[in-house]
Amino acid sequence: MIRLEKRKEPSRIWRIANPFLAVALTMIAGGLMFAALGKDPLVAIRLIFFDPLFSETFASYSRPQLLIKAAPLILIGVGLAIGFKANIWNIGAEGQYIIGALFGAGVALAFFPAPGWYIFPLMILAGAFGGFLWAMIPAILKTRFNTNEILVSLLLVYVAERILAAMALGLMRNPDQPGFPGSRDLRRYEAAHNAELIANTGMHWGGVAAMIAVIFAYVMMTRHMLGFHVKLAGQAPRAARFGGVSPARLVVICLGISGALAGLAGMFEVSGPGGQVRIEFATGYGFTAIIVAFLGRLNPLGVVLAGLLLGLTYIGGELAQMILQIPGAAIQVFQGMLLFFLLALDFQTNYRIRLTRGAAA
């Protein structure tokens, strides 16, 4: 008989090494997948991880893109990590990202074409509020009716996508180009444009917000009572209740923080690199940020490194699609492998498999 046995003291060395091993195993398995697709695996891996940073041909374009891709992943990943630490599973950050973008773009389009320094700050507040509001749906249903926040938050992603399509085709459609779906290009509206702060670096206000969120989360988790409650609820739920931690309050706080940060990421994206509300605006950042949170070991500083790595796979994946004609779905599978191997390695770190002889009849 096969029996799972929890290890009394999981190895700290393995816990530190697991993310690096997961990346190595992903490269090996990804190489085999690319070979099965008839592509040179070494060239594919080089295009994904090396050429965007070090190739003379691509680096001048790819390096600024790294911060552009990593900023929303870090911003969303930090919020998810806080909730995951307390065993509160927000899987619908993609929906909160979309709603935050719609709220932020809605403010910009409402003021168009008026100038004003106050427009962009109002967009920031609206984006955070939109994501927060969307996250409150699973939070309230969880606290009042004990629903599963995983299912509710995930299903709300598809509702958000339908709202996005309706807005791109209806209320927010550009009146100057009614034959094309999509809103006005916010990059051409100076008061609402999330432009680069330093030329050719990719650093915009989304990157600044991501760094602020990382610092805030690190201080909260290491120096504030709320961070202690989050960790206690995740490690010992019964002890947390005896210690005065309110599970319902913690659900609302954790889902609210993660929703607000995801909404901010959407707002910074639609006002900057994305540029406009369109049907294909959802890029999967909310789902990829789940990998970022786990790869970063649910630690805000680790999330920064993981966000940069996953941002690199986005850029390198685009190069691989363009040069080797690798399907986009294969790149998504490649990113998914990273989470699969990380969870598998963490499983063997925390549990051991025992083979036992069954009792005689």
| 45 assigned to some structural domain | no
Residue 7 pLDDT > 70: yes
Give the pair of three-digit tokens for residue 77: 């990943």
Q: Cα(14)–Cα(28) distance, rounded to whole angstroms?
A: 19
pLDDT, residue 77, reads 97
Residue 54 makes CB contacts below 8 A (sequence gap 6+) with none
If one compares 240 and 209, the residue with the highest pLDDT of the two is 209
Amino acid 361: pLDDT: 45
Domain membership flag for residue 23: no
* Total of domains in the chain: 1
Q: Is residue 248 part of a domain?
A: yes
Cα-trace Rg, the chain? 22
| Residue 244 maps to a domain | yes
Residue 29 lies in a domain: no
Q: What is the pLDDT of residue 179?
A: 81
Alpha-helical regions (H) of 192-324: 205-223, 225-235, 237-242, 247-270, 285-295, 300-324
**What confidence tens digit (pLDDT) does each residue in 131-173 have?**
999 999 999 999 999 999 999 999 999 999 999 999 999 999 9
| 359 vs 67, more confident | 67
Residue 154 lies in a domain: yes
Q: What is the pLDDT of residues 89-117, one digit of tens each?
A: 999 999 999 999 999 999 999 999 999 99
Sign, CA dihedral 247-251-252-257, equals: positive
Residue 182 tokens read as 């999509």
pLDDT at 76 over 70: yes
CB-neighbour burial class of residue 280 (10 A; exposed 0-12, middle 13-18, buried 19+): exposed
Between CA 133 and CA 282 the distance in angstroms is 18
Q: What is the pLDDT of residues 313-334, one digit of tens each?
A: 999 999 999 999 999 899 999 9
Which structural domain range is residue 123 located in? Answer: 73-302
Tell me whether residue 298 is in a domain: yes
Q: Quick check: is 103 in a domain?
A: yes
Question: What is the average per-residue pLDDT within 331-342?
Answer: 92
Rounded Cα distance between 271 and 353, Å, is 51
- pLDDT for the residue numbered 359: 57
